[in-house]
Amino acid sequence: MNNLQRLQLETKGIDLEQNELMVYLLENGLDATAPYDATSQSNTKAIYQTALSVLESLANNPQLMKTIKIDDMTVSDFHDNLMNRIDQLARKVRMMKTENENSNFFIFYN
């Protein structure tokens, strides 16, 4: 499995062309055709960051923010669920350690 295929697993149900996904992968420092290394925390974190970028771009689509009413029922949950997933994925990325991190602590100076 390569990085592109792993990203497609993470963003299942989102219809984007492979060229677009390859750009997202490049922006996050990954080669689309390189083998996915599941044992590498930095590779996994980069895949999650790329999926987060895809979801944030999707959230910027105003067509998806419409409220649709079908038989006295409002369908507006898509945007809410998308934003919840973005928050969840962002939190997961922030909490992940990579191989080159030695500590969970951040030091702030005045």
pLDDT of 108 > 70? The answer is no
Phi, psi angle pair for 67, to nearest 5°: -100, 125
Six token digits for residue 56: 């944030």
Give residue 84's identity as a one-letter amino acid code: N
Q: What is the DSSP letter of 69?
A: E
Mean pLDDT of 27-38: 94
Model confidence over 39-76: pLDDT tens digits?
999 999 999 999 999 999 888 877 666 666 666 656 66
| DSSP labels, 12-63 | TT----HHHHHHHHHHTT--TTSBP-TT-HHHHHHHHHHHHHHHHHHHT-GG
